[in-house]
Amino acid sequence: GPAVTEDSLLAGTVPFKRIYADTDFSAKTMLKFVTWNVAGLRAQGRADEILKFVTEEKPDVLCLQETKLSDIADSAKLVNLAGYTFTDNISTGKKGYSGTRTYIRDGVKVDSTSTGFGDGKDEEGRILTSTVDGMHIVNSYVPNSGMKLDRLEYRVEDFDAKMRAYIQKLQSTAPVVWTGDLNVAERDYD
């Protein structure tokens, strides 16, 4: 068949168009959430990128995924941001894999944090929940099904079902903001 080009992939897609302006945000009455798959906190220049971004955007909550941290003592030394505290959920099952981190701006009251589906069981470090300002913020790095779909059954039958039940449980106590890399886009342009 015909060669696949970037133009042919993008044909028929609609470019993302932001519907809100920066002026629509009110720091007095709203919290600013940002989520970012960093593909490794140790990546070359990543700390500088994060610092620059936070300085420019000033999020109240910054949720990172795929931190690839495996040692909690070592992770505490990486990418400390003035004016923020962070919590990590590291991969204990596989070194240099997965992981989530949530930064919360000083002054935003954190009521609690938990890992996994509220049970603390999350050896891949995929779910980190912070309860702030009367809401649950779920920072998640949803498993990829894999190029050969070898994790598809786990993703659909196990992880997705547990995530659905977990969010429903949280919703019964307070509003939920679900952030993260949800691994729902098939291609980069999605």
The pLDDT tens digits of the residues spanning 103-125 come to: 999 999 999 999 999 888 899 99
Q: Residue 178: its pLDDT value, please?
A: 97
Partners of 171 in beta bridges:
none
**Is it the case that residue 188 has pLDDT exceeding 90?**
no
Query: Which has the closest alpha carbon to 105: 133, 124, 78?
Result: 133
Catalytic status, residue 103? no
Q: Residue 152: its pLDDT value, please?
A: 83
**Is it the case that residue 90 has pLDDT exceeding 70?**
yes
State the catalytic residue, choosing from 60, 88, 122, 181: 181
Query: Per-residue confidence at 51, pLDDT binned at 50, 70, 90?
Result: very high
Catalytic status, residue 20? no
**Is it the case that residue 1 has pLDDT exceeding 90?**
no
| Rounded Cα distance, 22 and 116, in Å | 34
State the catalytic residue, choosing from 84, 97, 103, 141: 141
| Rounded Cα distance, 23 and 84, in Å | 24
In this structure, the strands spanning 127-132 and 135-141 are antiparallel
**Is it the case that residue 183 has pLDDT exceeding 90?**
no
Q: Residue 164: its pLDDT value, please?
A: 96
Number of other residues whose CB lies within 10 A of the CB of residue 132: 21
| Rounded Cα distance, 174 and 112, in Å | 13
